[in-house]
Structure 1
Amino acid sequence: MDNADYVDVALRIANADLSSLDAVRAAVHDEPWWADRLAEPDLPVLRAVADGLRRTLDALVTNDGEAALAEINALLSAHPPRPRLSSHGGHHGIPNWHLHVAGPDAPAVDEVAAAAAWGLAQGVVQHGTTRWGRCEADGCDTYYLDTSTNQAKRFCSPRCANRMHVAAFRARRRT
C-alpha cells in the first residue's frame, strides 16, 4: 500500500458502519487480508479508532489544527505503525515494493488501526489541514479529502452532488 491508500483506509473506517462484523468487513473489503481475519472481539477497538478518526476529522473540518494534532498523535500513540518493507506480488519477476504498517504476524485489528492512524497523519502531511470536509448533502455526514485543483469540493461523491443539484433544480422549477 502507499500513503494514499492509507488515507483511504482512515476515511473508510471513519465513515463506516461499525455495528457488526459484516459491516466492518464491508468497509475493508478492498483489503481481504484484513477483512478475512477480523473477528467479533476486534469491533470495540475499531469503534474506538473510528471515534478518534472522527474527532480528528471534525477538528480538521473546523480548522482546529491544534485539536487535530493532538488527536492524530493520540491515535499514533495508541496504535503505532511498525513499518516493514515488503515485496510480495509484482509482475514479470519485478517485485512490487511497498510498506506495511505492521508485521506479518500482527493481528488484523492492529494493522487496520495503525493503517488508519498513519493514513490520517500522512494525509495531513501531504495535503495540509484545509482540504478535509464533510459532505453537504442532506442526510449525508461522510468525511472526505478534497484533492481537486480548485479546492471547491462540497460533496463526498458525484452521487450526493447530483442528488443535491437535481433537488435545487426542481425547487427552482417549482417557483
Structure 2
Amino acid sequence: MDNADYLDVALRLANAELTDLPTLVETLREEPWWADRATDADLAALRPVAEALRSTLAAATDGDGETVLSGVNTLLEKHPPRPRVSGHTANPWHIHVADADAPPATEVAAAAAWGLAQGLVEYRLTQWGRCADCGNFFLDRSTNGTKRYCTTKCANRAHVAAFRSRHRG
C-alpha cells in the first residue's frame, strides 16, 4: 500500500456505518488480508476510530484547522504507525503500518490515521468535501475544486431528483 491507499482506507472507514461484522468486512473488501481476519473485537475497536475520523473530516470541511490538527494528532498518538517492510506470497515488497501478527483493527487504525495525516499535509483544508446527497466525506481532486458529490451515482441521483421535481406540474 502507499499513502494514497491509506487515505482511501481513512475515507472508507469514516464513511462506513459499522453496525455489524459484515459491514466491516465489506468496508475492508479491498484489503482481503484485513477483511478475511476481521472479528467482532476489531469491529468494537474500529468504531471509535471511525468516529474520530468523521469528526476530523467534518472539521476539515468546515475549514477548522485547529480542530483538524488536534484530531489527526490524537489519532496518530492513539494509533501510531509502526512501519514494516514485507514481502510475502506473490506480492512485491511493500510497507505494513503494524506488525504482521497484529489484529486487523491495529493496522486499519494506524493506516487510517497515517493516511488522513498524509492527505491533510498534501491537500490542507481546501479539497475536502461532504457529499450533497449522501453526506459521505471525500477528497475533491477535480481541476476547479467544486465537486459536490462523492460519486457519479450520488450526482446522478440528485440530478434525476431535481429533473423530476422540475417536471412535476
TM-score (structure 1 length as normaliser): 0.91
Rounded to whole Å, the distance in 2 between the matches of 1:15 and 1:132 is: 13
- The gaps in structure 1 that reach 5 residues or longer are none
The code of the aligned residue for 1:110 comes to T
The code of the aligned residue for 1:87 comes to G
CA RMSD, 1 decimal: 1.5
Q: Does 1:154 align with 2:148?
A: yes
Rounded to whole Å, the distance in 1 between the matches of 2:19 and 2:160 is: 32
SS in 2 for 1:174: coil
Rounded to whole Å, the distance in 1 between the matches of 2:41 and 2:99 is: 20
Rounded to whole Å, the distance in 2 between the matches of 1:34 and 1:167 is: 38
Task: Indicate the residue corresponding to 1:172 in structure 2.
Answer: 166
Task: Indicate the residue corresponding to 1:106 in structure 2.
Answer: 102
Instruction: State the 4+ residue runs in structure 1 displaced beyond 3 angstroms.
Output: 87-90
* 1:89 Cα offset (Å): 5.8
Task: Indicate the residue corresponding to 1:57 in structure 2.
Answer: 57
Task: Indicate the residue corresponding to 2:81 in structure 1.
Answer: 81
TM-score (structure 2 length as normaliser): 0.94
The code of the aligned residue for 1:126 comes to E
Aligned residue pairs: how many? 169
Rounded to whole Å, the distance in 2 between the matches of 1:33 and 1:141 is: 29
Task: Indicate the residue corresponding to 1:42 in structure 2.
Answer: 42
Rounded to whole Å, the distance in 1 between the matches of 2:41 and 2:157 is: 38
Rounded to whole Å, the distance in 2 between the matches of 1:97 and 1:65 is: 36
Rounded to whole Å, the distance in 2 between the matches of 1:82 and 1:117 is: 12
Deviation track 1:139-159 (CA, whole Å, cap 9, x = no partner) reads x11111111111111001101
SS in 1 for 2:95: strand
Deviation track 1:60-99 (CA, whole Å, cap 9, x = no partner) reads 0100011000000000000000012233466xxxx73322
* 1:167 Cα offset (Å): 1.7
Rounded to whole Å, the distance in 2 between the matches of 1:82 and 1:145 is: 25
Work out the percentage of aligned pairs sharing the same amino acid.
57
* 1:107 Cα offset (Å): 1.5
The code of the aligned residue for 1:154 comes to R
- The gaps in structure 2 that reach 5 residues or longer are none
